[in-house]
Amino acid sequence: MGYYITVEHGVDIYVNDVGPSDGKPIVFIHGWPQNNKIFEYQYNQLPKWGYRCIGIDLRGFGKSDKPWSGYSYDRLADDIRVILENIRVNNIILAGHSMGGAIVIRYMARHMGYKVRKLALLAAAAPIFTKRPGFPVGLTNMTKEDVNKLIVQTYTDRPEMIKEFGEKFFYQPVSDSFANWVQSLALEASGNATARTAVSLRDEELWRDLSMIRVPTGIFHGIHDVICPFPLAEAMNNEIRHAELIPFMNSGHGLFYCEMDKFNYEFARFSN
C-alpha cells in the first residue's frame, strides 16, 4: 500500500509499504535521480522471508511533492526523521543506495540513529562523491566539474543526461526494456530536484558523520562500480565501528540487480 506523510507545510512525501505489517521493517532510501521503485526486486522477495519493506520517495522524486527548496542532506535527513516519527515501527534496518546512502549516514549522525537497529549502505556515495584537496587520492573518479556538467545537462537535455548516466549503472548486461524502465524512474523526478541534489552530491562531506554511527553497519558494494568506486566502501569500512564490508565481485553500481539473488540473500542475512 502507499500513503503520504507531511514533513513540512505544503510538502507531502510518498511512502510505499510492502509486506506483512508485523514483519521486520526495512526502510529503503533510493539514489539519484530515481525513486523507491528501483527496489522492486527486493520488494518481490524480502516480504516472503518475513520482512516489511518501506520505500520512501525523497522530496522532488517519484510520487512525492516537488518543492523548490530543501535538497540539502540535512533537510532530506530531517524528512526521514519526520516519517519515522509517524510510522509505527521500531528497530528498523535503514538502507540507502548511492546518494540515499549518503543521506542515511547524515541521518544517523544528525538524529542519533533514531529507531535504527542496523544500517545498510548500498553503493553509498560517501564519505565524499567528488575529488577535493586534503583527502586520500584515488577514492573517487568524479570531479566537481564532472557534476557541474551533469547539472548543465539537467537544465538543457535531462533525458539524454539520464540515459548517459544510466549506461554506467550496471556491470552486468541488462535488456533495453529494463534500461528504459530505469530511465523512466529518473524522469519522474523534477528537473529542479535533480539539479539541486546534484549540488549536494558535489559539495557534501561525511567523514565526521561516519564516526557517529553506533549500530552494526553492512557495506554492500560492487567492485566494478564506476559511479561510486570500491575504495569508497573501503574508506567507510575503516571509519565506521562495527562495520562489515560485503563485496560483490560481478557488480557495478546497481548491485541489487547485477547480482540479485546474492544481494537479497546477503541483505536478508545481515538484516536478521
Tell me whether residue 157 is one of the annotated catalytic residues: no
| Cis bond before residue 133 (omega within 30° of 0) | no
Q: Where are the beta strands (DSSP E) in the chain?
A: 2-8, 11-18, 24-29, 51-56, 92-97, 116-122, 217-222, 243-248
Which is catalytic among the residues 57, 225, 251, 271? 225
- d(CA 130, CA 169) in angstroms, rounded, equals 17
- d(CA 57, CA 65) in angstroms, rounded, equals 9
Which is catalytic among the residues 97, 221, 224, 253? 253
Tell me whether residue 253 is one of the annotated catalytic residues: yes
Tell me whether residue 225 is one of the annotated catalytic residues: yes
- d(CA 89, CA 138) in angstroms, rounded, equals 40
Direct distance between the N- and C-terminal alpha carbons of the chain, in angstroms, rounded to an integer = 24
Which is catalytic among the residues 98, 200, 251, 271? 98
- d(CA 94, CA 113) in angstroms, rounded, equals 9
Burial of residue 195, with CB atoms counted within 10 A of its CB: 0-12 exposed, 13-18 middle, 19 or more buried: buried
Catalytic residues: 98, 225, 253
